Chains A and B, each alone.
Chain A
């Protein structure tokens, strides 16, 4: 018998208000399941930012292209880990591939994931880096030379026709990739939105709200990474690019905010059976995380800040450092906002009883597989993977595009792979 679990449940018991079904004391989907939609959201959002460059030809955000692809990949590699760690029997996870239940949305995870990883992201990155990898393999030495040789699958064709083909292939993959990215995160929203037993989740808006919050978190994270990595590697932040990306982020936050607001108004106006317990939950257990952090600090405040930089454009164009700082604060706040949104959806959905008569509580553990420390490791892991990826496949070529024209540098002056 799991003594720790019993101990936790006993601690929760006095904090229960009203009546809950006796099996509802334990919150079954904890911190790990909060992390899962957060991470997949970043994947989808980062990819959509990358596709802005390729499909919609937004030239200004070109420096973010490779960085966003690598970000998407490093987060995608981590995405299944929280799910896997959460299973009661992780060793049976392959059953989902071997005997998937066709009626279950969750059974589709492996297939959606594999499709996105194999058919979209890896192929796109391969085509983006193919010629570069050939160049690096030819010019490099030691193990890095071999890594690039193997990664380029020993291709050596740098002819014009081959490069043209690469571009064509890239365009096609991105066009397939956008709906796939939508599918990946819309599907995560569907997993929650389709649970009819749970009125906090059961909403047709859930997949689409998840999708837009995904775009928001992905774009915000790539901007954040760009603003941190560029100075660290001795580059200069291209403000035109950041301006444009923040522009895009601004509109995405507005759409996301509108969607969630519509959902909120709709629930209150409809005022179904569960509305009393839901409003009680929002006003007591979720007040801090939903009203204060998610809505005020995570949405309205950054919207206000970015909005101010737009309204007083002239003043802010003069002071680039101030603008940089304001953007930095905004994307950081948005990041926290989206994470708490995941928290409020996942944990909030389990705090009220399906008898609509009472509220339970969630007690976060510090250690253990469902604990805070492990979650922090999971949240840092993509950044470690990203660092490794950036060593093997440096994204500087497009990140420093602006530098070259500014300083008249040559591609040779860019840091070499592995540097």
Chain B
């Protein structure tokens, strides 16, 4: 049973549903009701993971990240993300919180010299840390809701993907993503985003960024399996998600997250 209205979406299902709705409309006019209902995400149903099968999520241990930027590099190489510093499937932010409360935030530039992680010499700094960011693979993805052609869809195992063969490049999904996790690929002219390295995880490999992380700040796993590293990570830590008020049900779980991080 699909737990999200978008689960198993994509082009074929969209077309099939549309034809079915049209037929139903011709017979009874019920498609209008059905169509309107589908405008609303059935949040109450979508939140929980399916009882069977995999339901992938991501963990980030903020305290472990040293801002080396190898994850960004690995992601760009693995997924053919343009090398220019404007397009990212994943990136790392650096926060410096000063004693007067001021927060200075920067994104790490993978090509530049590594930033000094040690700020203990500077007395005006209260604390500093790195925060890796990526697509939150929301259980209720607003990007999939708004895509006019169903090119952005959620797989049965909870990964939000883009079908670049049907994406029309309207960029509504980019506007709808609260996490800035999407961009328009300058070559394909279609929307692009983190796929959890779907080509790798479907062969039981880890996403590239997780594989290269030298401190294991990035954790990947199946939320339905209590033995997975991610489930263990969630048990052992106090967990936060980004922008919980937007009710997108993110599946990127942060341990040790500072209130300054948005």
Q: Is A28 an interface residue (CB 8 A)?
A: yes
Would you list which residues of chain A between 1 and 41 have a CB under 8 Å from chain B?
1-2, 5-6, 9, 19-26, 28-29
Closest-CB distance, B15 to chain A (whole angstroms): 4
Residues of B in contact, count (CB < 8 Å) = 61
List which B7-65 residues lie within 8 A (CB) of chain A.
Answer: 9, 11, 14-15, 17-18, 21, 34-35, 38-41
**Contact B182–A23 (Cβ < 8 Å):** yes
Q: Bound state CA distance, A95 and B168, in angstroms?
A: 8
Number of A residues near B (Cβ < 8 Å) is 49
**How many Å lie between the Cα of A221 and that of B37 in the bound state?**
38
Please measure, in the bound complex, the distance between the C-alpha atom of A101 and the C-alpha atom of B88, giving whole angstroms.
Answer: 27
Alpha-carbon separation in the docked complex, A107 to B9 (Å): 15
List chain B residues, Cβ under 8 A from A86: 170
Q: Counting CB contacts under 8 A, is B171 at the interface?
A: yes
Q: Is the CB of A102 within 8 A of B88?
A: no
Flag whether B177 is at the interface (Cβ < 8 A).
yes
CB-CB nearest in chain A for B5: A103
Per the bound structure, the CA–CA distance linking A83 and B178 in Å amounts to: 23
Min C-beta distance of B262 to chain A, whole Å: 5
List chain A residues, Cβ under 8 A from B21.
Answer: 102
Find residues 209-232 in chain B having any chain A CB closer than 8 Å to their own CB: none
| Of A2, A22, A355, the contact of B262 (CB 8 Å cutoff) | A355
Query: Among the listed A23, A28, A196, A355, which residue makes an inter-chain contact with B88, where contact means beta carbons less than 8 Å apart?
Result: A23
User: CB within 8 Å of A: which of B58-92?
Assistant: 82, 84-88, 91
- Whether B176 and A102, one on each chain, are in contact in the complex, defined by CB atoms closer than 8 angstroms, is no
Question: Which A residues, 91 to 119, have Cβ-Cβ distances below 8 Å to chain B?
Answer: 92-93, 95-96, 98-107, 109
Please provide the chain A residues from 344 to 376 with a CB less than 8 Å away from any CB of chain B in the complex.
349-350, 353-357
Q: Which residues of A contact B35 (CB under 8 A)?
A: 102
Given contacts A23-B87, A96-B149, contact A29 B171 (CB under 8 A): yes
**Chain A positions 288-345 with a Cβ under 8 Å from a chain B Cβ:** none
Chain B residue with Cβ nearest A111: B35
Residue in B closest to A356 when the chains form the complex, CB atoms: B262
Q: Does the CB pair A355–B190 fall under 8 Å?
A: no
List residues of chain A with CB within 8 A of the CB of B171: 28-29, 88
For residue B252, CB closer than 8 A to chain A, the reply is no
Q: Say if the beta carbon of A87 comes within 8 Å of chain B.
A: yes
In the bound complex, CA of A106 to CA of B167 (Å):
13
In the bound assembly, the distance between CA atoms of A353 and B179 in angstroms comes to: 10
* Highest count of chain B CB atoms <10 Å: which of A21, A96, A104: A104
- Tell whether B146 is near chain A: CB-to-CB under 8 Å: yes
Tell me the bound Cα distance from A109 to B149 in angstroms.
12
Among residues 103 to 117 in chain B, which have CB atoms less than 8 Å away from a CB atom of chain A? 103, 105-107
Residues from chain A with Cβ under 8 Å of B167 in the complex:
88-89, 92
Contacts of B178 in A (CB 8 A): 196-197, 354
Q: In the complex the two chains form, is A89's CB within 8 Å of B262's CB?
A: no
Q: Does B198 count as interface, using CB distance less than 8 angstroms?
A: no
Which residue of the partner chain, among B5, B14, B180, contacts A100 with CB atoms under 8 Å? B14
Q: Closest residue to B260 on the A side, CB-wise?
A: A357
Q: Are B86 and A104 in touch, CB under 8 angstroms?
A: no
Q: Which residues of A contact B39 (CB under 8 A)?
A: 102-103, 105
Separation in Å of the A36 CB from the closest CB of chain B? Answer: 11
B236 at the interface (CB under 8 A from A): no
Bound complex: CA of A242 vs CA of B185, how far in Å?
51
Measured CB to CB, the nearest residue on chain A to B36 is A102
**Could you mark each residue 160-184 of chain B with 1 if its beta carbon is under 8 Å from any beta carbon of chain A, else 0?**
0000001111111011111111111
Most interface-central of B86, B149, B179, B190 (chain A CB within 10 A): B149
Q: Across the two chains, which residue of chain B brings its CB closest to A353?
A: B180
B180–A24 CB distance below 8 A: yes
Q: Are B175 and A28 in contact (CB under 8 A)?
A: yes
A176-219 interface bits toward B, Cβ cutoff 8 Å, 1 = contact, 0 = none: 00000000000000010011111000000000000000000000
**In the complex, what distance in Å separates the CA atom of A92 from the CA atom of B5?**
24
Complex contacts, A93 vs chain B, CB 8 Å? 168
Measured between beta carbons, the chain B residues less than 8 angstroms from A96 are 148-149, 168
Given contacts A1-B82, A104-B172, contact A23 B181 (CB under 8 A): yes
Complex: chain A residue closest to B191, CB-CB: A88
Q: Which of A6, A20, A109, A355 has the most CB of B within 10 A?
A: A355
**What 10 A-B pairs come out closest when comparing CB atoms?**
A88-B169, A21-B180, A88-B189, A197-B178, A107-B148, A19-B105, A102-B38, A106-B148, A101-B150, A99-B14
19 A/B residue pairs, CB under 8 Å, sorted by A: A5-B186, A21-B107, A22-B88, A23-B183, A87-B168, A89-B169, A99-B14, A99-B166, A101-B147, A102-B17, A102-B38, A104-B150, A104-B172, A194-B146, A196-B178, A197-B176, A349-B175, A354-B178, A354-B262
* Beyond known contacts A21-B91, A95-B166, A197-B178: 10 more, CB 8 A cutoff: A19-B105, A20-B180, A23-B180, A24-B180, A89-B189, A99-B15, A101-B9, A101-B14, A195-B176, A357-B262
